[in-house]
Structure 1
Amino acid sequence: MTLATILALAGEAAEHHGNVQAETFIYGAVAFVVFLALGLVTLSYRNVANRHAHKAEAYAKAHPVDQAQVGHGHH
């Protein structure tokens, strides 16, 4: 056998006929499920600050803030 014959036989063996879109559909489906799960996690944190507004108000009443300390540490 010559090198050309071996390459030709390898090319025929590696040749694949089929619907590439149907074969790779699972990657899109997995990505969709992952993004959907991440979206649900993000949505679960929606409005968290308002759920605990009573705690924030109680903390603010218990710890009055001096106006000189408000800001980024600049005087």
Structure 2
Amino acid sequence: MAVSASQSHTVPSILGAAFDIFVGIMKSLTQIGEANAKVRRIQDLSSLSDAELDARGIKRENIIRHVMADVL
């Protein structure tokens, strides 16, 4: 007599897929938030005068490089 041992992985598979989707969405939202923070920082620094930037040790042409240093 043959015994068939069929296991159903439907519930764990669905939960795993849902978790993976959730993690992907959270990573994307985190990246968007970080990008928005960098854009705001660039805008804030760009609005400063050259003297104010000089006091911070930043040249106007290096604002983006300064803000994006952790990425580049």
If the TM-score is normalised by the length of the shorter chain, which range does it land in? 0.3 to 0.5
**TM-score (norm: length of structure 1):** 0.46
**TM-score (norm: length of structure 2):** 0.47
Rg larger in structure: 1
Query: Which protein, 1 or 2, shows the higher relative CO under an 8 Å CA cutoff with sep ≥ 6?
Result: 2
